[in-house]
Amino acid sequence: MVVDKSGNVYVTGYTRNSVFNPTDEDFLTIKYNSSGILEWSRTYDGPDWNNHSEDRAYALVVDDSGNVYVTGYSQNTGGFITLNYLTIKYNSLGDTLWTRRYSGNFILDISYSIALDDSNNVYVTGYGLTCDSCEDYVTIKYNTYGDLQWNRNFDGLVHGADIAYPINVDKNGNVYVTGYSRSFGNEHVAATIKYDRNGIEKWRVSYDSTTGFEIEVDDSGNVYIGGNTYRDGNFLLLIKYDSSGVQKWVKQIPGAIRDLVKDDSGHIYVAGSVVNGQGYDYLTIKFNSNGDSLWTRRYDAAFHSSDDAASIAVDKNNNVYVTGSSDRSLFYHQFATIKYSPLGTQQWVINYSLLTFGDNKAVKIKVDTLNNIIVSGYSVNSSGYTDFVTIKYSPITDVSNLQNLLQDSFELNQNYPNPFNPITTIGYMVKSKSEIKITVYNSLGKLVARLVNKIQEPGRYETTFKASNLSSGIYFYNLEINGSIFNKKKLLLIK
């Protein structure tokens, strides 16, 4: 999803034409005006192979004139199935200006990402498959008229699977791609490449046991890679390289990355998911340009199961918005969108479900020039099929319409991390203005810490327990409301 400077909203993906043939799919691209009125929708059905072509769009961008560029893959004709990169340019009225296929002598070519430079040259990246587990990064530049300017392949050290995911272009027209590259011993690295505007490789760097899923570039040419690493567990990874490809710092945090953005002040924001013992919580972190974590927030909805963040955005006032999917039962998810202040204070949470019994997944969030919030995703309709869903919220949302700001009951969340050494965080929910106490006891019932002892207004809160002077062992913490114990949980200190 993309929002242009006039507030028009663009969404792309694919639509299935037959319930009997799961590969009979077409590109689907939609434009709404700022009021949510459908301006146009366009499909692309590639050359038929046995009358059923598989065509999937994965990404789009919009230039300052309102031209729309979409990329993905399309099934080609032939004696056996092949897939090609497919990139389409539409004008602001939805008329097709050009369509380009790229095969590069590969069996399969799948484009995942697209970017523009200041001259509206078009860059796409993904991978091409030559044999079983023999993929290469494939990065292409077209000019604004659709003429191929250059194409570059990257084949890693062991000539195995090399798959590029995101692409970015800086203000000087330099191009950056990252992804996954097979290494020795069945290991893999996050291989990041910088090309200049002419396709000349300027540098290539890698980070072990990692897949790069997100990439941002600042005005100084510093590159931020967001990825997941599986070395010694599952961790979210944030890497900073300078404009010469020199690694400046690496941050590793338990969890998995979903999205990465930067603001005009050089702050980096990460959205991801982290295990909560029963499922997942949203994980949102704000970093400065030196890699210092300014704040970290988790979101665990009332069902305490799977809350999976998908996308993050920042408005011009540095408010932070995160969306994704949150369990509302054992079987169904709902959109869950959260606003944090620049200091990380939760402002509101709002949910969306198309039906009482039906699944819903938010995929992307954007903020327009007026700080309106736009969320896109999909929902299962009453016929059991999936619909695109796009929602626009005003910057000041009526609290009476919000869901999950006040839950049906108070909550005491499991501390994280757990086990811990020596600091852990405890989250809790206050339903109504109350006297709140949170206390910690050892296994003999002796009080060892008073963490909270005050009257608090409704909302979600976090408190920190520092156990530097305590020995390893099992401890318990209580949430007390107006003099009565509401809930008790166990935590484990290991030194």
The residue among 358, 374, 401 that closes a domain is 401
The residue among 401, 428, 451 that closes a domain is 401
Which ranges of 263-406 does DSSP label H, i.e. alpha helix? none
Query: Who has greater pLDDT, 474 or 130?
Result: 474
Q: 451 with 337, same domain?
A: no
Residue type, 419: P
For residue 399, the SS3 value is helix
User: Cα separation of 169 and 193, whole Å?
Assistant: 12
Task: Supply the CATH number for residue 272's domain.
Answer: 2.130.10.10
Is 59 within a domain?
yes
pLDDT at residue 472 in the model: 92
Confidence of residue 50 (pLDDT cuts 50, 70, 90): low
pLDDT at residue 256 in the model: 95
> What is the arithmetic mean of pLDDT over 320-336?
86
Query: pLDDT, tens digit, for every residue of 69-107?
Result: 999 999 886 555 688 999 999 999 999 999 999 988 778
* Percentage of residues in the chain having pLDDT higher than 70: 92
DSSP-derived secondary structure for 333-371: EEEEEEEE-TT--EEEEEEE-SSSSS-EEEEEEEE-TT-
Is 87 within a domain?
yes
Is 406 within a domain?
no
The residue among 401, 424, 453 that closes a domain is 401
Confidence of residue 358 (pLDDT cuts 50, 70, 90): confident
For the cut 80, the answer to whether the pLDDT of residue 406 exceeds it is no
pLDDT at residue 221 in the model: 97
Confidence of residue 398 (pLDDT cuts 50, 70, 90): very low
**Range(s) of the domain holding residue 455:** 411-493
Confidence of residue 223 (pLDDT cuts 50, 70, 90): very high
Q: 259 with 368, same domain?
A: yes
pLDDT at residue 49 in the model: 56
> What is the arithmetic mean of pLDDT over 228-248?
93
Is 486 within a domain?
yes
Query: pLDDT, tens digit, for every residue of 456-468?
Result: 988 778 899 999 9
Confidence of residue 423 (pLDDT cuts 50, 70, 90): very high
For the cut 80, the answer to whether the pLDDT of residue 303 exceeds it is no
User: Cα separation of 265 and 440, whole Å?
Assistant: 40
Tell me the sheet residues that pair with 123: 115, 141
pLDDT at residue 404 in the model: 43
Q: 185 with 204, same domain?
A: yes
Query: Who has greater pLDDT, 260 or 413?
Result: 260
Mean pLDDT over all residues of the chain?
A: 90
Is 355 within a domain?
yes
For residue 193, the SS3 value is strand
Confidence of residue 329 (pLDDT cuts 50, 70, 90): low
Q: 129 with 233, same domain?
A: yes
CA dihedral 429, 432, 433, 439 (to 10 degrees): -40
Q: Strand 9-16 vs strand 25-32: parallel, antiparallel, or unpaired?
A: antiparallel
pLDDT at residue 54 in the model: 87
Q: What is the pTM of this model?
A: 0.80
Query: pLDDT, tens digit, for every residue of 32-44?
Result: 999 999 999 999 9
pLDDT at residue 183 in the model: 87
Is 17 within a domain?
yes
